[in-house]
Amino acid sequence: MSAIANTIFSPEMAARFDKLETIYPLKRSALVPMLLYAQDEIGYVSEAAIQEIAQRLDLFDLDVRNVLSYYSMLRTKPAGKYNVQVCTNISCMLRGGYEILDHCKATLGIGHKQVTKDGQFSLEEVECIGACCWAPAMQVNYDFHDDLTTVKVDAILADYAAGRGKDVK
């Protein structure tokens, strides 16, 4: 039973949030994780999510929005079901990161921070994701794909399109 009446989240997520509210010396510490988990469930941080999180943490909506706008992974509009994030920072760039990004743009027919018409994929050029020694690399949602070639990218995108891709939550 969630502490919040009419929670917008699933019972599992609501229970997780109930717990997050209690573990820190200061309740507000749960804010950044809550925003990310809310996004994982809804696909983005919605108005309703902002309001519920503010209520849970005894904050103003504005406090939540202020933090939300700082973190690059958080978004207020839906992304694709599979968000393809291609790293083009130095280690990836030197091993073909931009070719991988261009290939994804051409294959998916979308640009940076755009979503395909069917809502299946979105694309982002991202900064270093910590896979420098296995470059070029990208993440699809939270899953890492390393040592990429355009051929490998085709297979990875085809797997996701067919619902066979890895998808750690």
Partner 1 sequence: MPTYVSHPDEAIVLKRRFGQGAADIDKYVELDGYKAVQQAIAEGPEWIINTMKASGLRGRGGAGFPTGMKWSFVPKNSEKPKYVLVNGDESEPGTCKDHVIFLEDPHAVIEGTMIAGLAIGSKLGFIYLRGEYRYLLKIVEKAVADAYAKGYLGKNIFGKEGVDFDIITQTGAGAYEVGEESALMESLEGKRGVPRIKPPFPAVVGLYGGPTVINNAETIASAPHILLMGGEAYAKLGSERNGGTRLFGISGHVERPGVYELPMGYSLRKAIYEVAGGVKGGKKLKAVVPGGSSCPVLTADEIDVGLDFDQMGKAGTMLGSGGIVVLDETVSIVEFALRVISFYQHESCGWCIPCREGTDWIKKTLARVYAGGGSKKDIDNVQYLADNMMGRTFCPLGDAAAMPTLGFVKKFRKEFEDYIDGHKAETPIMTEQELVGAGH
- What residues line the site for partner 1 (CB under 8 A)? 23-26, 28-33, 35-36, 57, 66-67, 70-74, 88-91, 93-95, 98, 127-135, 139, 142-144, 146-147, 168-169
Residues with Cβ within 8 Å of residue 33, at least 6 apart in sequence: 20
Nearer to partner 1 among residue 41 and residue 143 (C-beta)? 143
Nearer to partner 1 among residue 5 and residue 59 (C-beta)? 59
Spatial contact of 52 and 21, defined as CB atoms under 8 Å apart: no
Beta carbon of residue 143, minimum distance to partner 1 (angstroms, whole number): 7
Nearer to partner 1 among residue 59 and residue 115 (C-beta)? 59
Task: Please name the residue that has the structure tokens 């069917």.
Answer: 118
Nearer to partner 1 among residue 147 and residue 154 (C-beta)? 147
Among the residues of the chain, which ranges form H helices?
A: 11-23, 31-42, 47-56, 61-68, 90-94, 97-108, 150-161
Q: Please give the helix or strand (H or E) that residue 22 lies within, else none.
A: helix 11-23
Beta carbon of residue 95, minimum distance to partner 1 (angstroms, whole number): 7
Beta carbon of residue 65, minimum distance to partner 1 (angstroms, whole number): 11
Q: What single DSSP character describes residue 78?
A: -
